[in-house]
């Protein structure tokens, strides 16, 4: 294969459309960062930076799962509710485990975290099975599980925060810092790295792209797509649960008010601004990460600039519509030209 030409041959226009997306978001991000560091000294404060990174991490983890579901041509409205459910389940199970194994923090934490992750897995499984086997639209199914999961979370807690988790979970994990950075960041980095590998190097990642690009052609090529569709929803559920557990450890109590519609909408916004196409088949986790960071910094910047927090959604809305409209218009120009 020594003759293999590395340069693109004529007639095969490479991925120019992609590079615009690649460049656009980081430039915007840098612009906001530079602008803010000039406008407000507080922005550079270590506390503020840590705060940004922590929030961005939580959003990134959820957005990665959401992105995978959208790339496969679906939607997951239930992530916000799963965050709440996982938080409550984790705290509650830890409370019960503390009674079962008094003093054995490792066992208690293991039980709690496992239970939390399983709650996310269960919701993801229901979503996935309904979408893949019953061929129901992902939008409505996850709308249903969203209501159901939120309801279960509230049933468990009656709306009151759940305490009683081991100190080592809260102080030693949730609020701990390694090399000056909170644990959530390491978790997020690990998730992103794994997801990048999954997207590029695994069968699962490849099939997710293929299903979103053209499900019929994928089936015709001999791929049993159902299990991969279910896989995307399970992944999204588990990642949302991870965020719920991190939030619980950080705050120190399980709360049914975590996540919610806001987090769900933000995760979709992060994915969409990060170049994930709602038509399916297109999107990279690393860009979604940048987009999650961008959204978090933007919110922070608006706060520091004392722009009425109530007006902030307006910016988010406009940016999101503008980003997608720009992508759509460039796509149209490409197909026309």
Residues 111 to 150 in contact with other proteins, rule: CB under 8 A: 130, 134-137, 139-141, 143-150
Q: Is 306 in the site for other proteins (CB under 8 A)?
A: no
> Cα–Cα–Cα angle for 248, 283, 27, nearest 5°?
85
Measured from the CB atom, is 98 or 210 closer to other proteins? 210
Does 333 participate in binding other proteins (rule CB under 8 A)? no
Taking contact as CB under 8 A, which single stretch among the options 26-34, 170-178, 188-196, 268-276 is the one that binds other proteins? 268-276
Instruction: Identify any residues that bridge with 223 across adjacent strands, giving them in sequence order.
Output: none
Q: How far apart are CA 212 and CA 229, in angstroms?
A: 10
Q: How big is the site for other proteins, counted in residues (CB under 8 A)?
A: 82
d(CA 50, CA 52) in angstroms, rounded, equals 5
**Interacting residue with other proteins among 65, 74, 116, 281 (CB under 8 A):** 281
Residue 154 interacts with other proteins (CB under 8 A): yes or no: yes
Rounded to the nearest angstrom, the gap between the alpha carbon of residue 180 and the centroid of all alpha carbons in its chain is 24
Tokens of 220: 């015709």
Report yes or no: 244 and 83 within 8 Å, Cβ to Cβ: yes
316: contact with other proteins by CB under 8 A: yes
Shortest Å, Cβ 205 to other proteins? 8
- Taking CB under 8 A as the rule, does residue 268 contact other proteins? yes
Torsion of CA 176, 181, 184, 190, to 10 degrees: -130
Within residues 205-244, the interface with other proteins by CB under 8 A covers 206, 209-210, 212-214, 217-224
Q: Find the length of the chain.
A: 337
Per-residue CA distances from 278 to 56, 142, 295, 324 (Å)? 22, 16, 19, 9
Per CB under 8 A, contacts with other proteins among 241-260 are: none
Both tokens of 170, joined, read 């809260």
Of the pair 23, 329, the CB lying nearest other proteins is at 329
Q: Which of 35, 41, 45, 317 binds other proteins (CB under 8 A)?
A: 317
Residues 67-106 close enough to bind other proteins by CB under 8 A? 75, 77
């Amino acid at each position: 294969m020594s003759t293999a030409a590395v340069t693109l041959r004529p007639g095969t226009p490479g991925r120019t459309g992609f590079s615009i997306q690649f460049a656009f978001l980081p430039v915007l991000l840098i612009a906001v960062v530079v602008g803010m560091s000039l406008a407000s000294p507080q922005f550079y404060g270590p506390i503020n930076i840590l705060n940004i990174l922590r929030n961005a991490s939580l959003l990134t983890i959820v957005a990665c799962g959401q992105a995978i579901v959208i790339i496969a041509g679906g939607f997951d409205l239930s992530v916000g509710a799963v965050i709440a459910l996982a938080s409550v389940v984790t705290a509650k199970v830890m409370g019960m485990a503390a009674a079962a194994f008094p003093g054995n923090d490792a066992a208690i934490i293991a039980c709690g975290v496992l239970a939390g992750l399983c709650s996310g897995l269960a919701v993801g499984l229901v979503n996935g099975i309904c979408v893949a086997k019953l061929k129901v639209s992902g939008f409505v199914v996850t709308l249903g599980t969203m209501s159901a999961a939120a309801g279960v979370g509230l049933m468990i807690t009656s709306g009151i925060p759940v305490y009683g988790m081991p100190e080592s979970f809260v102080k030693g994990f949730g609020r701990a810092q390694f090399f000056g950075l909170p644990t959530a960041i390491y978790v997020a980095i690990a998730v992103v790295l794994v997801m990048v590998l999954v997207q590029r190097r695994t069968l699962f990642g490849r099939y997710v792209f293929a299903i979103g690009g053209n499900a019929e052609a994928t089936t015709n090529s001999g791929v049993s797509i159902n299990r991969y569709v279910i896989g995307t929803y399970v992944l999204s559920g588990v990642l949302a649960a991870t965020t719920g557990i991190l939030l619980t450890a950080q705050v120190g109590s399980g709360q049914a008010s975590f996540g919610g519609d806001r987090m769900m909408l933000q995760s979709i916004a992060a994915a969409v601004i990060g170049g994930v196409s709602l038509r399916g088949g297109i999107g990279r986790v690393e860009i979604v990460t940048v987009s999650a960071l961008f959204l978090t910094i933007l919110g922070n910047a608006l706060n520091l600039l004392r722009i009425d927090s109530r007006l902030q959604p307006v910016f988010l809305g406009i940016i999101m519509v503008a980003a997608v409209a720009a992508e759509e218009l460039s796509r149209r120009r490409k197909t026309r030209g």
